[in-house]
Amino acid sequence: MASQGATTHLASYTASLSRRLAWLRTLPDGVIYDRSLPQTRLWVIKDASFISLFFLNPETGALDGPMSRIDIERPLHLLAPYTRALLLTLLWRPAPHRICMLGFGGGRMSLALHAHLPDVNIDNVDVDPAFETIAADYFGVIFDERQRLHIADAQAFLQSTMHRYDIIIMDAFSDARDNLNHLATAEFYALCRERLRPGGVIGVNFLRSDPHLSTKVDAFRAAWHTTLATPLRHSLVAFGVGRMPAPATELTTRACALAQRYGFDADLSNLAATLRPLRAIDLW
């Protein structure tokens, strides 16, 4: 069970978060934020208690996403299954000091980690400065000495930073403007290995719809001593570590202990039970 201090911290954090999001309850449903960027457009849409961030293709009018989604009545619950699965990086580093989040958007995972792990420092990286306002105003993210946003390409950031990380999470999505294939190469994963502390872990969200999925998964497998994955409907959440994992039954037990220790609003043990060697998973 979580300590009394951790429980008090989380209760205080949740109350503060609810106050930051309270103004959204008064807004009517529909588009509540609209910003045009050079080759795309960002929409934040309210639907009852749900706030969602989308890319809007200005030529076709099609929505891409949601890239981030929050229920303002249950703001620390991670709605997207892949975000809950990425919490399994904590199986290998259960008490991380520093985490690097590559791909930020509305900052859903960063918000949860900032709330539940009061001693962790998070470096968030995204190429669009617009996400700083979106994350703070519509998703309740606080930027402070523990939570920072760096506006940069993920590879360029890793090349420039002097920090070493317990956990690196790769959750950068492409839209009509971007080609992020350079963030799934042998060279990129070698850079990630250099930026991880001994015993560190990387978690990557691969989209099953990516036409280059097989090539990217092959590069990931070749880069790490051990690779496991949680297969989901729309994505494949893969983990790379430099040592053999614990037995599957132990990982499930660890996941249950993590959820209790940090008070996560998620059943991590069920997700841990789906972990399989990456080589054994059908990509399609």
In order of their start, the domains of the chain are 75-276 (3.40.50.150)
> In the 3-class helix/strand/coil scheme, how is the chain assigned residue by residue?
CCCHHHHHHHHHHHHHHHHHHHHHHHCCCEEEEEEECCCCEEEEEEECCEEEEEEECCCCCCEEEEEEEEECCCCCCCCCHHHHHHHHHHHCCCCCCEEEEECCCCCHHHHHHHHHCCCCEEEEEECCCHHHHHHHHHHCCCCCCCEEEEECCHHHHHHHCCCCEEEEEECCCCCCCCCCHHHHCHHHHHHHHHHEEEEEEEEEEEECCCCCHHHHHHHHHHHCCEEEEEECCCEEEEEEECCCCCCHHHHHHHHHHHHHHHCCCCCHHHHHCCCEEHHHCCCC
pLDDT digits (tens, 9 = 90+) for 178-196: 467 888 899 999 999 999 9
The mean predicted confidence, pLDDT, of the chain is: 90
Is the whole model's pTM more than 0.85, yes or no? yes
pLDDT of the residue at 211: 86
Q: Using one digit for the tens of pLDDT, what is the confidence trace for 226-272?
A: 999 999 998 999 999 877 666 767 889 999 999 999 999 988 999 99
Which residues neighbour 205 within 8 Å (Cβ) at sequence distance 6 or greater? 82, 86, 170, 171, 235, 236, 237
Predicted local distance difference test score (pLDDT) of residue 249? 73
Count CB neighbours of 159 within 10 A: 12
pLDDT bracket for residue 177 (50, 70, 90) = very low
**At residue 121, does pLDDT exceed 60?**
yes
Digit-coded pLDDT (tens) for 22-80 = 999 999 999 999 998 877 789 999 999 999 999 887 778 888 888 999 999 999 999 99
Per the omega criterion (within 30 degrees of 0), is the bond before 75 cis? no
